[in-house]
């Protein structure tokens, strides 16, 4: 664990600065996390799994008969057990005593060092959670295309460059996504992110190979489920919440194209997004979910949303509006319903998600029947995000072996998972051209 020292915080330990605080240069927006936090949270009190029954078939004991003949033979419906594992998300800070002593007054610092460090950690904690909610529980952030010294060029796949940030710590795995690269010090640190050229600079890169995968440090397969594994047909996750999609076809979401390429198709195979393509996806989701559970929100990469906008003829209009929290959205008309369409720079590239969130009226002008919380996208939570105070205080004395160190530390923790207990009410369209 690396503690903040007088040297590392030298830039903020000045004699006087005007009011206004630290000017953040990073994009730490958390659109998806903000949205799903409003969903129902299930408390898991009994262990590391939340169990729910799922019905995959009816009894079959129904049918017409001739007069005065035997009634249908009683049968049992088909059920399976949904098992939602709890994942563990942490953030750690440590500050030395001298730093706290020399930064207590605004005359000596922008902000009191401990508060500055804890606030920054909270932002990063939420940022990483938001990134993971778009993924598929692997913790994988990108695939290496080439390396020049310490500069890594990332492949042109679905992973947005926004998934990387300065100060981030990564583990490097071989292309098998199982074996850590033996020639690379673990972890490596990101020192610069080139948003235009999709390149990152790390503190050591000479032994990194093409097709290596970059993973959240120590996070391989420890992340919560995300949209790519929840809204899936087995491309990213064959077994989801303990149920195999190879044996339970209704556990699959509608995904177009069928069995798409993991990480996205090559540029030559990407498709223009059209009204027909989108409407076909919406209709296919309806076959699975029913008219009472329509897609009521769309999330895509900014490039996909822009490509569709550009495809519209001059006499057609795409209405825009401002959503709660200041998020801008477009509106797609689907029959008698209007679906808000959000673009997010953290959303996988070349990808569009259609979500059922239970927020729109259904049926004959009436509100939907009581929404089954397990069907919508939700956070399944055993412990809400908070600073650990199990010892009676958020701040804890730091030790080096058996000796005290003039430092204090604190850590954030969140025990949770994310997803849906009915993935077939959502849809995904892959391999789309961006504008």
pLDDT in tens, the chain (435 residues): 677 675 766 655 554 445 555 666 777 788 899 888 876 666 665 577 888 888 888 878 888 988 888 888 888 888 888 999 999 999 998 888 887 777 666 555 545 667 778 888 899 999 999 999 999 999 999 999 999 999 999 999 999 999 999 999 999 999 999 999 988 988 999 999 999 999 999 998 778 999 999 999 999 999 999 999 999 999 999 999 999 999 999 999 999 999 899 999 999 999 999 989 999 999 999 999 998 889 999 999 999 999 988 887 554 455 555 544 444 557 777 767 788 999 999 999 999 999 998 865 444 444 444 445 567 888 988 888 999 988 888 888 888 888 888 988 889 999 999 999 999 999 999 999 998
Whole-model pTM over 0.75: yes
The verdict on 231 and 216 lying in the same domain is: no
Helix (H) or strand (E) holding 353: strand 352-355
- Whether residue 232 is found in the same domain as residue 169: no
| Co-location of 145 and 218 in the same domain | yes
Contacts of residue 325, defined as CB under 8 A and 6 or more positions apart, other chains included, come to 34
Residues 301, 349: contact at Cβ < 8 Å? yes
Residues 247 and 189 in one domain: no
252 in a structural domain:
yes
> Are both 305 and 282 inside the same structural domain?
yes
Check if the beta carbon of residue 137 is closer than 8 Å to that of residue 130: no
26 burial type by CB count under 10 A (0-12 exposed, 13-18 middle, 19+ buried): middle
Q: CA 296 to CA 184: how far, in whole Å?
A: 45
| Spatial distance between the Cα atoms of 378 and 380, rounded to a whole number of angstroms | 6
Question: What distance in Å separates the CA atoms of residue 339 and residue 333, rounded to the nearest whole number?
Answer: 6
- Nearest to 221, CA basis, from 293, 282, 135: 135
Claim to verify: residue 218 and residue 246 sit in the same structural domain:
no
Q: What is the DSSP string of 91-104?
A: EEEEEEHHHHHHTS
User: Which element (helix H / strand E) includes 9?
Assistant: none
> Token pair for residue 299?
């999330």
Question: In terms of residue numbers, what domain contains 146?
Answer: 138-222
Q: Dihedrals φ, ψ of 193, to 5°?
A: -125, 120
CB distance 396 to 225 below 8 Å = no
CA–CA separation, 363 and 400 (whole Å): 64
Domain assignment present for residue 183? The answer is yes
Can you give the CATH number for the domain in which 207 is found? 2.40.10
Whether 82 is in a domain gets the answer no
Task: Collapse the DSSP code of 116 into the 3-class scheme (helix H, G, I; strand E, B; otherwise coil) and give the result.
Answer: helix
Residue 287 phi, psi dihedral angles, 5° rounding: -60, -40
Strand partners, 432: 271
Tell me, yes or no, whether 350 lies in a domain: yes
Statement to judge: residues 278 and 425 lie in one domain? yes
Residues 210 and 235 in one domain: no
* Same domain, residue pair 154 and 207: yes
CA–CA gap between residue 170 and residue 122 (Å, rounded): 19
**Residues 424, 284 share a domain:** yes
Q: What are phi and psi of 57, to 5 degrees?
A: -165, 155
């Amino acid at each position: 664990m690396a503690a903040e020292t007088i040297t590392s915080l030298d830039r903020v330990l000045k004699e006087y600065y005007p009011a206004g605080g630290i000017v953040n240069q990073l994009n730490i927006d958390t659109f998806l996390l903000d949205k799903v936090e409003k969903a129902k949270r299930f408390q898991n009190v009994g262990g590391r799994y939340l169990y729910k029954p799922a019905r995959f078939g009816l009894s079959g004991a129904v049918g017409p008969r001739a007069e005065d003949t035997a009634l249908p033979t009683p049968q049992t419906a088909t059920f399976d057990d949904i098992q939602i594992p709890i994942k563990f998300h942490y953030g750690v800070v440590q500050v030395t005593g001298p730093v706290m002593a020399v930064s207590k007054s605004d005359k000596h610092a922008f902000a009191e060092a401990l508060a500055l460090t804890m606030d920054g950690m909270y932002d990063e904690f939420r940022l990483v959670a938001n990134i993971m909610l778009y993924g598929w529980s692997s913790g994988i952030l990108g695939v290496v295309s080439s390396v020049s010294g310490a500069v890594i060029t990332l492949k042109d796949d679905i992973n947005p460059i926004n998934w990387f940030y300065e100060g981030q710590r990564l583990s490097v795995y071989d292309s098998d996504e199982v074996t850590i690269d033996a020639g690379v010090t673990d972890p490596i640190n990101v020192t610069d992110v080139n948003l235009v050229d999709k390149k990152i600079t790390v503190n050591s890169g000479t032994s990194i190979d093409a097709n290596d995968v970059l993973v959240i440090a120590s996070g391989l397969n420890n992340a919560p489920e995300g949209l790519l594994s929840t809204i899936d047909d087995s491309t990213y996750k064959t077994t989801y919440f303990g149920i195999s999609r190879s044996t339970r076809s209704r556990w699959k979401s509608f995904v177009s194209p069928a069995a798409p390429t993991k990480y996205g198709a090559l540029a030559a195979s990407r498709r223009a997004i059209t009204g027909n393509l989108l409407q076909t996806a919406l209709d296919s989701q309806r076959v699975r979910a029913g008219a009472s559970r329509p897609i009521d929100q769309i999330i895509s990469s900014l490039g996909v949303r822009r490509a569709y906008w550009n495809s519209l003829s001059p006499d057609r209009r795409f209405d825009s509006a401002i959503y709660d929290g200041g998020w801008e959205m477009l509106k797609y008309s689907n029959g008698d319903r209007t679906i808000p369409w959000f673009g997010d720079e953290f959303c996988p590239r070349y990808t569009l998600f259609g979500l059922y969130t239970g927020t729109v009226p259904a049926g004959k002008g009436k509100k939907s029947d009581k929404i089954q919380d397990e069907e919508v996208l939700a956070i399944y939570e055993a412990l809400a995000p908070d600073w650990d105070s199990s010892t009676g205080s958020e701040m804890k004395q730091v030790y080096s072996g058996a000796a005290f160190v003039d430092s204090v530390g604190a850590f954030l923790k969140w025990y949770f998972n994310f997803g849906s207990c009915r993935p077939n009410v959502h849809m995904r369209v892959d391999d789309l051209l961006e504008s």
